[in-house]
Structure 1
Amino acid sequence: MRFVAVGAAFLMLSSAAHAEHYLMITHTQGTDPFWPVVEKAGKDAAAALGVDFEYKYAPSGDMADMAKLIEAAAASNPDGLIVSLPDYDALGPSIKKAVESGIPVVTINSGLEHSKEVGAIMHIGQPESVAGHSAGERAKKDGVTHALCLNQEAFNTALADRCSGYFDALGEKLNMIDVSSDPAQIKTRTAAALQADPKLDGLLAVGSHVCEAAAAAVQDVGAKVHLDCFDLSPGVTNLIKEGKVDFTVDQQQYLQGYLPVVILHLYNTNAHMLPFGNIPSGPGFVDKSNAESVAKLAGVTR
């Protein structure tokens, strides 16, 4: 009996010593409230499955620094990598090397168009051009004719795709400015743009913190514009309820953090089990009709 107990304890220790280990690396600079929800989701999934999980990002926002994080993560020989892919040229080679070394990779959020090319087993995120086009269709129905897109990450092709899709739906030429990822700069640059072009009747903010800063700029300037946004945060849901933001595009970032951990676990433990194709987590819309129902979840699991 004692032998059985000792053997069981040994097996438990051996299992713990060989727990699956997954790393997630994203392109946040730590200023966007979008990413803590993704991180929480990854941790929640890891806890549910009993696997190890690490979340990393480069505070500099520099893609070369992010590439180094991917290379360091691959060198630790994890059971899987989860990476956002906003800049294929800067990050593609590092991801490909990880795949070539035998590490399964799931791309999330940005980089749908390059996910297969870098060797990822799948992508989880919204098709950004489609999301932008859907936002533009709604804005056009609401009477927007002369708009401006506020892009906080000039390097991020996904954000440019949102802007392009929006203007395609409006039937207008792309009108986009770099507002940086700093809320103070976003507010200053948005206010300057509104003052420089009084004919603007629409703004598209492609991030939740951009949305909040843009709303403050609109109020300070006293402009009358249709403000549309991407992503959820407590501040954005409040702005919608107050009538200061018309809608936001919800890409359900909790799914982008939770599902890849589950996918990699199944891939590693169940004969490479995978869904049949990529998983589109959006786009959905939050407006006055449903803002109240997600308000308590915004910034937590939405």
Structure 2
Amino acid sequence: MSRFVRWVLVLVVALLVAAGCGGEQQGGGEQTGGEGGLVDRSDIRIVMVTHGPPADPFWTVVKNGAEQAAQDMGIDFEYRSPDAFDVVEIQRNLEAAIASEPDGLAVSVPDADALGPLVRDAVEQGIPVVMLNAGREQWEELDALTYVGQTEFEAGVAAGERMAEAGVNNALCINQQQGVATLDQRCNGFEEGLGGTVKQVAVDGSDPTAARNGIQSALRQNPDANGMLTLGPAGANPALQALEEADVGEDFVFATFDLSPEILRAVRDGRALFAIDQQPFLQGYLPVVFLTNYIQYGVTPVNEVPTGPAFVTRENAEEVIELSRQGIR
């Protein structure tokens, strides 16, 4: 059985369990189904700790997915994230989550050296952990139940190959959040897939004006560049503004990872070649479902669960825009 087929089966089972076992309820902890097993779902509390700032629209969708899963499962749920990407603050959030003794823990691990020991501590204390979005290379050695997310290097390779097909051979890769290993993997994979020249450019994604100015400066300093890849909305939205103000020519190709309303409109209107969708709704939703079923029934996926890359292009952008308005895509 292929990896893709296994993933589809896991997703179908998870969604059937969510629809069939969760019962009808108004919110986490208020449910009529889910009795039986080792515990009742009304007694389950799960905490999710991520590295994504609330202002980043990608992480808003992750949070929406997790909260929807908590409602569907009928469990109590708490979400913790830093105000801005800050490993020390993420450590504090994770320490506080572990100290609260949840029944399950979902966590992104952008820095394995700093956060990995805390994940291991949680597991050793008997708290089941599902990792999401970042930490794919470490989930097994940290004894997490599974990992839900995208294969970042391979996604970068796919992005490079698509842009090469569009004629790009000299590109800028804009990193809006330095220190996040998954973003480095995206740029590195992009360079391999493109097979041309890639200049990695760091900008401050927490400050849209500074990010736009940094991208404008990079365009001036690299006049031979004929393409640009950004790694998320915090880089893509300022990049779209910078490109509108720059004289890059009609043949310049722009594309990005992840989605936002601005990105989707750019894809629909032909100002962006594609956007890579790693399906953040599922990255929030599935860990809560998996943890709930593990705590209640002792069942869990036996391998990681990939959620991307999926490509949004001009052909399907319009339908994705409607789902974006609902906070799902």
User: What's the TM-score once normalised by structure 1's chain length?
Assistant: 0.92
Match of 2:7 in 1: none
Superposed CA RMSD: 1.6
Query: How much does 1:66 deviate?
Result: 0.4
- Aligned AA (1:209): A
Name segments (4+ residues, structure 1) moved above 3 Å: 15-18
Correspondences of 1:43-192 after superposition (within 5 Å): 43-172=67-196, 174-181=198-205, 182-192=207-217
SS of 2:307 mapped into structure 1: coil
Contact 2:40-2:296 at 8 Å conserved across structures:
no
Displacement of 1:18: 5.9
Pair 268,16 (structure 1): closer, same or farther in 2 beyond 3 Å? closer
Matched, 1:226 2:290: no
Contact 1:149–1:163 (8 Å) recurs in 2: yes
Distance 2:234 2:78 in 1: 25
Q: What is the aligned counterpart of 1:40 among 49, 64, 81?
A: 64
Q: Which amino acid aligns with 2:310?
A: G
User: For the structure 1 residues 174 and 143, does the alpha-carbon distance in structure 2 shift closer, same or farther, using more than 3 Å as the test?
Assistant: closer
Structure 1 counterpart of 2:99, one-letter code: A
Distance 1:276 1:93, change over 3 A: closer
Confirm or deny that 1:31 pairs with 2:58: no
Task: Report deviation, 1:172.
Answer: 3.3
Matching of residue 196 in structure 1 with residue 221 in structure 2? yes
Shift of 1:106: 0.6
Identity of aligned residues (%): 39
How high is the TM-score relative to the length of structure 2? Answer: 0.84
**In 2, are the aligned partners of 1:239 and 1:245 still within 8 Å (CA)?**
yes
> Which moved further from structure 2: 254-263 or 111-120?
111-120
Cα drift, residue 174 of structure 1: 4.7
Deviation at 1:31, TM superposition (A): 2.5
Secondary structure at the counterpart of residue 281 of structure 1: strand
Partner of 1:4: none
Letter in 2 for 1:222: D
Contact 2:171 2:197 in 1 (8 A): no
Contact 1:164 1:174 (8 Å CA) reproduced: no
SS of the aligned residue for 2:196 comes to: coil
Matched residue count:
288
Aligned to 1:7: none
Q: Output the CA distance in 1 between the equivalents of 2:204 and 2:132.
A: 22
1:251 aligns with 2:278: yes
Name the residue aligned to 2:230.
Answer: 205
* 1:290 paired residue number: 316
Q: Using the alignment, how far apart are the partners of 2:201 and 2:114 within structure 1? A: 22
Q: Which runs of 5+ in 1 are unaligned?
A: 1-11
Alignment partner of 1:263 is 2:290: yes
Which residue of the partner structure matches residue 5 of structure 1?
none
- Larger C-alpha radius of gyration, 1 or 2? 1
Question: Which runs of no fewer than 5 residues in structure 2 stay unpaired?
Answer: 1-34
Rounded Cα–Cα distance in structure 2 between residues aligned with 1:17 and 1:122: 21
Indicate how the Cα distance of structure 1 residues 237 and 60 shifts in structure 2: closer, same or farther if over 3 A, else same.
Answer: closer
Report the Cα offset of residue 136 of structure 1: 0.5
8 Å CA contact retained: 2:87, 2:111: yes
Contact 2:169 2:197 in 1 (8 A): no
Q: Distance in 2 between matches of 1:168 and 1:146?
A: 12
Q: Greater CA deviation, 154-163 or 24-33?
A: 24-33
